[in-house]
Structure 1
Amino acid sequence: MQFQETEYKLVEKILLGNGKFNKLQREFIELNETKTIVAGPGTGKTTALAAKIVLVLRHLNRIGSKDGLCIITHTNVAVNEINNALQQAGIGSIAHPHFIGTIHEFFNHFCVLPLYKYIFKINKLTFDVEHESDKEFYKAFLAQRYQWMNKPQYSNVKEWIANRIHDSKLVVNKETEGIEMVNSTSWEKFDNYSATMWQAKLSRKKQGFLTYDDTFLFSRFFLLDSRFKSMLQSRFKYVFLDEYQDTTPDGADLLEEIFGIENIIFQKIGDPYQTIVYGQPIPKIDEEQTFRLNLTNRFGVEIAEHLNIIMPQANVQTSSDKKSFTPIILLYENEQDIYTRYRTLIQEYELSHTSFKENTKEDKVLVWARHWASILKPGSVYKNKKPRKLESLNVLLKTLIVDFIAQKIVDNDGNISESKEWVTKHPKVNQLNKILLSILKSGINDEMKQALNDFVNELLEEKGLNRIDINNYLFSQLEDETQHTTFNLEESIGPVNDIFTIHSVKGETLRSVLVVDFIDKPLTNILLHKYGVNKEATYLYTDHNLLYVAMSRVTHLFVFAMHKRDWTTEVCNKLKNNWTVLEV
Structure 2
Amino acid sequence: MPLNMQLEVTDLDIESAEQILFGRINVFDAERRIFLKNLDTCDLQAVPGSGKTTVLLAKLLILEKRLPLDSGRGILVLSHTNTAVNEIKKKIGKHCPKLFSYPSFVGTIQSFVDKFLAIPCYANLYKKRPLRIDNEIYMETIEREFNFKIKDFSVQEHKNAKWFINAKGLLGGYRIQFNNPNFELVKYINGKNVEIEKPKKNSKAWVDFSEAEKSRIKQWLISLKKKVFNKGILHYDDAYFFANVYLSRNPQILSFLKRRFNYLFIDEMQDMEKHQFELLETIFYDPSNTTVFQRIGDINQSIFTDGSSTSSSSWTDREAKLTLSGSHRLNPGVAKVVQNFGAESFIEINGLHTSNEVKPHIILFDQQSKGRVIEAFANLIKQHQANNEIPLVLDHPIKVIGWNGKLPEPDKLRIKDYFEPYDKEEQKPKIDYPNLLSYLKYFDKGTLTLDPIRKNILNAILRVIRLEDIKEDGRNFTKRRFLNYLALVSPSKAEEFSKSLYQWCINIIKGKVTEVHQGIIENVTVLICEIFSKEALGLQSMFFLNDTSTLETIDGPLIAKNNVFCYEDLKFEVTNIHSVKGETHTATLYLETCYHKHETEFCLDAILGNYTPFKKRQKQAAKMMYVGFSRPTHLLCFAASLDRLQNKVEELERVGWKVIHLNESTGNPTIAIEAEVLGATNEIE
Would you call these one fold, judging by a TM-score over 0.5? yes
1:313 maps to 346
User: Tell me, what secondary structure is at the counterpart of 2:313?
Assistant: coil
Deviation per residue, 1:10-33 (Å, 9 max, x gap): 322332244612221121122101
Contact 2:43 2:320 in 1 (8 A): yes
Q: Is the deviation greater in 34-43 or in 324-333?
A: 324-333
* Aligned AA (1:95): S
Pair 259,573 (structure 1): closer, same or farther in 2 beyond 3 Å: same
Could you tell me how far 1:206 is from its partner in structure 2?
Answer: 3.0
Contact 2:75 2:264 in 1 (8 A): yes
Of 132, 151, 169, the match for 1:125 = 132
Task: Answer yes or no: is 1:376 the counterpart of 2:409.
Answer: no
Contact 1:329 1:561 in 2 (8 A): yes
Q: Percent identity of the aligned residues?
A: 23
* Aligned AA (1:43): S
2:277 maps to 252
* Aligned equivalents of 1:522, 1:147: Cα separation in 2: 53
Task: Answer yes or no: is 1:145 the counterpart of 2:152.
Answer: yes
1:529 maps to 605
Could you tell me how far 1:139 is from its partner in structure 2?
Answer: 4.7
1:464 maps to none
1:101 maps to 107
* Aligned equivalents of 1:388, 1:95: Cα separation in 2: 36
1:422 maps to none
1:567 maps to 645
Contact 2:309 2:623 in 1 (8 A): no
1:336 maps to 371
Could you tell me how far 1:78 is from its partner in structure 2?
Answer: 2.3
* Aligned AA (1:509): T
Of 76, 95, 116, the match for 1:70 = 76
Pair 532,321 (structure 1): closer, same or farther in 2 beyond 3 Å: closer
1:411 maps to none
Of 488, 509, 517, the match for 2:592 = 517
Of 57, 81, 88, the match for 1:82 = 88
2:491 maps to none
Deviation per residue, 1:518-560 (Å, 9 max, x gap): 3465222234132289999673412210101111111111111
Any stretches of 5+ residues in structure 1 without a counterpart? 405-451, 457-468
Contact 2:273 2:314 in 1 (8 A): no
User: Tell me, what secondary structure is at the counterpart of 1:106?
Assistant: helix
Task: Answer yes or no: is 1:324 the counterpart of 2:357.
Answer: yes
Deviation per residue, 1:287-308 (Å, 9 max, x gap): 6221112211112211111122
Pairing 1:535-546 to 2, within 5 Å after superposition: 539-546=617-624
Contact 2:326 2:351 in 1 (8 A): yes
Pairing 1:200-211 to 2, within 5 Å after superposition: 200-211=224-235
Counting matched residue pairs gives 516
1:351 maps to 386
1:506 maps to 581
Any stretches of 5+ residues in structure 2 without a counterpart? 1-6, 187-191, 198-208, 407-413, 433-438, 455-505, 522-544, 663-685
Deviation per residue, 1:196-217 (Å, 9 max, x gap): 4323322322322222211211
Contact 1:364 1:513 in 2 (8 A): yes
Q: Is the deviation greater in 107-116 or in 475-484?
A: 475-484
Could you tell me how far 1:92 is from its partner in structure 2?
Answer: 6.0
* Aligned AA (1:370): G
Contact 1:526 1:537 in 2 (8 A): no
Q: Is the deviation greater in 52-61 or in 481-490?
A: 481-490
Deviation per residue, 1:15-68 (Å, 9 max, x gap): 22446122211211221010111111011101111111111111225x776211
* Aligned equivalents of 1:191, 1:155: Cα separation in 2: 13
- Rg (Cα) greater in structure: 2
Contact 1:242 1:269 in 2 (8 A): yes
* Aligned equivalents of 2:354, 2:179: Cα separation in 1: 56
2:334 maps to 303
Of 14, 31, 35, the match for 1:24 = 31
Deviation per residue, 1:65-112 (Å, 9 max, x gap): 621111110122321222123334253660111111111110001111
1:362 maps to 397
Pair 318,472 (structure 1): closer, same or farther in 2 beyond 3 Å: closer
1:185 maps to 194
* Aligned equivalents of 1:329, 1:478: Cα separation in 2: 55
User: Tell me, what secondary structure is at the counterpart of 1:146?
Assistant: coil
2:16 maps to 10
Contact 1:362 1:512 in 2 (8 A): yes
* Aligned equivalents of 1:503, 1:327: Cα separation in 2: 21
* Aligned AA (2:100): I
Pair 83,329 (structure 1): closer, same or farther in 2 beyond 3 Å: same
Pair 140,279 (structure 1): closer, same or farther in 2 beyond 3 Å: farther
* Aligned equivalents of 2:377, 2:558: Cα separation in 1: 21
- Which has the larger helix fraction? 1
Pair 193,564 (structure 1): closer, same or farther in 2 beyond 3 Å: closer
